[in-house]
């Protein structure tokens, strides 16, 4: 339950707002308070703290970087959650409390991150902040009541269900901690960001929660020797997930290479497909598209001009937005046929095929690609003020050309990144 990426939108990334620093600031204050409490009262149950600290540090050492993984250190997250929800060790009650839980997890996370930081790939501040706050939330919900013996009569299924319920609440807290700073930093709507975080919990986050609960239950019965036994399944899951991420990255690179075919052949300007894809993804994010929908949109935007490879006479500068509607539809259908033969997802081919249809009949992704492509073509060589002129042309176009909600979303994206929309009235 750590960093969640929201797509690489480098040329169109809005400037961060001060609100996104609220989560790290709260985590820092909490960490200082936890450390002060441990220094004041002294650590307890040191072997248990060292065992779970070593587990969290190992999880951070084996974390993977440079990917869009929603949870980069699942073993560390599971160990941290297990320590926060630990009430007994081999039948003996524990008394480590909230302050020691937060201190051990933070210290172990920092220790395990040293090699990554030395290589310049260490966890970002948000990663550590969310780890501290989620662990603190789980510990606050469980440790005080457990230390008072409130769960002594909870055994078997009842205790397991209690841990699962607390982990589910912690996962919801983590999703909120991811969505709110992203909303403050990017300006994207909070609702879709939160929905995407919740959808992402079906994958690796579910495995982390389940492993955390099993670790806590196993240590309560079998002692600390249960930790290495239950580390192995999550390590294997992490390895499989890493390979899956590598396959996905290779798949995207293949699509990007196919999209460059029109540039290499001289049909479209260099970088046109990449710029349309990046801006289309930003517009889709503003309109609340989910992660899977954004992926289809990005791939379709990368390959939206590939139908031009079937033309005998190239379109001047690859500017299809100025062609007659019949020619635009013919190129779009040719492009969809090419996409289908490449083995890319059929949903991508549908978007490419329908980008020239009347906008009322188009799926949302096709509306976005059409509007963004037209904007990019109109502003390509327009000079200062060209972006404003292009947006005005899109707004004044007939209803079947460009969807008004897409054009307004495009204006908001450009405004956030300091583009032409700042000059637009209203």
pLDDT tens-digit readout, 186-199: 777 777 778 878 77
For every residue of 312-366, DSSP letters joined together read SSPPGGG-GGGS-HHHHHHHHHHHHHHHHHHT--HHHHHHHHHTTS-GGGS-HHH
| Residue found by looking up tokens 């929660």 in the block | 209
- 273, 301 in Cβ contact below 8 A? yes
Q: Which helix (H) or strand (E) holds 92?
A: strand 92-93
Cα–Cα distance measured from residue 135 to residue 79, given in angstroms and rounded to the nearest whole number: 10
Position 368 scores a pLDDT of: 92
Other CB atoms closer than 10 Å to residue 264's CB: what's the count?
10
Residue 179 has pLDDT above 70, yes or no: yes
Residue 239 has pLDDT above 90, yes or no: no
Other CB atoms closer than 10 Å to residue 155's CB: what's the count?
9
The SS3 of residue 268 is: coil
Residues paired with 89 in a beta bridge: 92
Cα–Cα distance measured from residue 78 to residue 242, given in angstroms and rounded to the nearest whole number: 17
Position 34 scores a pLDDT of: 92
The SS3 of residue 93 is: strand
Q: Mean pLDDT throughout 220-237?
A: 82
More confident residue, 324 or 49: 49
- 338, 362 in Cβ contact below 8 A? no
Q: Which helix (H) or strand (E) holds 88?
A: strand 88-89
Residue 49 has pLDDT above 60, yes or no: yes
Q: Mean pLDDT throughout 363-380?
A: 88
How confident is residue 297, by pLDDT bands cut at 50, 70 and 90?
A: very high
Other CB atoms closer than 10 Å to residue 95's CB: what's the count?
12
Residue 169 has pLDDT above 70, yes or no: yes
**Burial, 70: exposed, middle or buried (Cβ in 10 Å; 0-12, 13-18, 19+)?**
buried
The SS3 of residue 73 is: coil
HSE (side-chain half, CA atoms, 13 Å) at 419? 24
Residues 6+ apart with CB under 8 A from 206: none
Cα–Cα distance measured from residue 424 to residue 419, given in angstroms and rounded to the nearest whole number: 10
How confident is residue 69, by pLDDT bands cut at 50, 70 and 90?
A: low
Cα–Cα distance measured from residue 120 to residue 115, given in angstroms and rounded to the nearest whole number: 9
CA R_g for the chain: 26
Other CB atoms closer than 10 Å to residue 33's CB: what's the count?
15
Tokens standing for residue 239: 């390895």
Position 197 scores a pLDDT of: 80
Position 101 scores a pLDDT of: 93
Tokens standing for residue 86: 């630990």
CA nearest to 278, candidates 166, 410, 378:
410
DSSP state of 266: T
Residue 223 CA, distance from chain mean position: 36
- 104, 84 in Cβ contact below 8 A? no
Tokens standing for residue 381: 């060589």
Position 318 scores a pLDDT of: 66
- φ/ψ of 89, rounded to 5, equals -130, 110
Position 312 scores a pLDDT of: 66
For every residue of 197-214, DSSP letters joined together read HHHHIIIIIHHHHHHHHH
């Amino acid at each position: 339950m750590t960093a969640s990426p929201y797509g690489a939108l480098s040329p169109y990334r809005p400037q961060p707002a001060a609100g996104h620093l609220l989560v790290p600031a709260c985590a820092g204050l909490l960490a200082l308070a936890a450390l002060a409490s441990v220094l004041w009262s002294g650590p307890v149950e040191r072997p248990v703290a060292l065992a779970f600290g070593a587990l969290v540090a190992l999880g951070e050492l084996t974390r993977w970087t440079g990917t869009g993984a929603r949870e980069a250190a699942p073993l560390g997250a599971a160990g941290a959650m297990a320590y926060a929800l630990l009430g007994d060790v081999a039948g003996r009650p524990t008394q480590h409390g909230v302050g020691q839980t937060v201190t051990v997890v933070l210290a172990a996370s920092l220790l395990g991150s040293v090699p990554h930081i030395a290589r310049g790939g260490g966890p970002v501040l948000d990663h550590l902040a969310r780890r501290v706050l989620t662990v603190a939330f789980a510990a606050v919900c469980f440790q005080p009541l457990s230390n008072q013996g409130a769960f002594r009569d909870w055994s078997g299924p009842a205790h397991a269900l209690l841990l699962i319920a607390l982990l589910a609440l912690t996962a919801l807290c983590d999703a909120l901690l991811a969505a709110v700073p992203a909303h403050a930093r990017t300006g994207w709507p909070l609702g879709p960001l939160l929905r995407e975080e919740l959808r992402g919990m079906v994958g690796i986050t579910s495995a982390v929660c389940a492993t955390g609960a099993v670790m806590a239950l196993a240590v309560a019965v079998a002692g600390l020797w249960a930790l290495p036994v239950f580390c192995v399944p999550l390590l294997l899951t992490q390895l499989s997930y890493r390979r899956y991420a590598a396959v996905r990255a290779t798949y995207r690179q293949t699509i990007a290479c196919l999209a460059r075919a029109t540039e290499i052949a001289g049909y479209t300007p260099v970088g046109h497909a990449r710029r349309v894809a990046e801006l289309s993804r930003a517009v889709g994010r503003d309109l609340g598209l989910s992660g899977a929908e954004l992926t289809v949109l990005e791939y379709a935007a990368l390959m939206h001009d590939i139908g031009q490879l079937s033309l005998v006479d190239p379109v001047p500068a690859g500017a299809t937005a100025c062609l007659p509607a019949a020619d635009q539809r013919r190129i779009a259908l040719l492009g969809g046929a090419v996409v289908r033969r490449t083995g890319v997802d059929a949903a991508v081919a549908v978007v490419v095929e329908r980008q020239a249809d009347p906008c009322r009949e188009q799926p949302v992704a096709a509306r976005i690609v059409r509007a963004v492509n037209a904007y990019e073509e109109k502003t390509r060589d327009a000079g200062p003020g060209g972006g404003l002129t292009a947006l005005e042309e899109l707004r004044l176009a007939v209803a079947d050309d460009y969807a008004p909600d897409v054009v307004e979303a495009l204006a908001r994206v450009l405004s956030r990144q300091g583009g032409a929309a700042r000059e637009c009235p209203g």
